[in-house]
Structure 1
Amino acid sequence: MREIVGYAPGAFDLFHIGHLNILKHAKRRCDRLIAGVVSDEMLRLTKGISPVVPIAERMEIVRHIDFVDDVHCEDVPDKLEVWRELRFDVFFKGDDWRGTAKGAELERRFAEVGVRVEYFPYTMSTSSTKLRGALDALTAATARDA
């Protein structure tokens, strides 16, 4: 039987339980899991943000998660281009993408090459956006008090 390769991309900035949950759930659905860590440049280009933790450090953190078999630096905006390089069978994403135009487009394009898209529950209690907001507030308060 052929090995099923899964791919779970993310910024993995300010690593938290939501990141861990996606990787844990993804590993249960494939034989080999590749975590795609989005580069600093791609985060600036696609999300308009700079990560708090640099790419080399984020990759090192993710590389040491037991569920992850390999780590890939995602430095192109097109997920299909990443697939052409890695040839994964399943693409994992948080369900905040389900039902969106971006999610539908991703599903359509991956279906053309035989890749299944699977969604996992988005962790509402903790997110990088919330953590980034808390850091920004602390930084602002510290600057005010200085």
Structure 2
Amino acid sequence: MTVVGYAPGVYDLFHVGHLNILRHARQHCDRLIAGVVSDENAARVKGKYPVVPLAERLEVVSALSIVDEAVAEVWGSKREAWDHVRFDVIFKGDDWRGTPQGAALEASMAEVGVRVVYFPYTVHTSSTQLRRALELLEGREPEAAAV
């Protein structure tokens, strides 16, 4: 049986943390689908729009040899993503483990038999840090971190 993995993320300002999640995910499935979160969903969840537009983020992630397919995640939940993509395992950074969001994801995925696998979160590089650096370079005050 082919194990289909799903690695959702905004993948804004693509960096080594994104690459690490995708590399780890590739090792745990036969087919890897990356769900690139839409601009609107990213803004709803993070409180701000990505720097790089969805079409460009899709192009970057699609070009990676470790990703079999990249899809625009335009759905309102990971359960809706499963309804469209049909994966066996979903991958998240371990910053989700033990959080209310992680517990909700685990419960939702358990309903359809999907395993949730967590990988180490790359603490030293993040899109938020890169965004702040860009804002400083532009001479602007960095935006407050989204909750």
Taking structure 1 as the reference length, the TM-score comes to: 0.94
Hey, what does 1:4 align to over in structure 2? Answer: 3
1:88 equivalent in structure 2: 87
Match in the other structure for 2:143: none
CA displacement, residues 51-101 of structure 1 (integer Å, 9 cap, x when unaligned): 111100000000011110001100122110010111100000000000000
Distance in 1 of aligned mates of 2:74 and 2:61: 16
1:105 Cα shift? 0.8
The count of corresponding residues between Structure 1 and Structure 2 is 140
Identity %: 61
Query: Are 1:46 and 1:77, in contact at CA under 8 Å, matched by a contact in 2?
Result: no
Q: CA deviation at 1:134?
A: 0.6
* Structure 1: gaps of 5 or more residues: 142-146
| Partner secondary structure for residue 133 of structure 2 | helix
For residues 77 and 123 of structure 1, the distance between their equivalents in structure 2, rounded to whole angstroms, comes to 26
- Check conservation: 1:5, 1:90, Cα contact below 8 A: yes
- Specify the alignment match of 2:61 in structure 1: 62
RMSD over aligned Cα atoms: 0.8
Q: Which residue of 1 aligns with 2:116?
A: 117
Q: Distance in 2 between matches of 1:108 and 1:42?
A: 21
Over alpha carbons, which structure has the higher Rg? 1
Q: Secondary structure at the match of 1:140?
A: coil
Q: Which runs of 5+ in 2 are unaligned?
A: 141-147
Amino acid at match of 2:23: K
Q: Distance in 1 between matches of 2:123 and 2:45?
A: 22
C-alpha distance in structure 2 between counterparts of 1:22 and 1:65, whole Å: 13
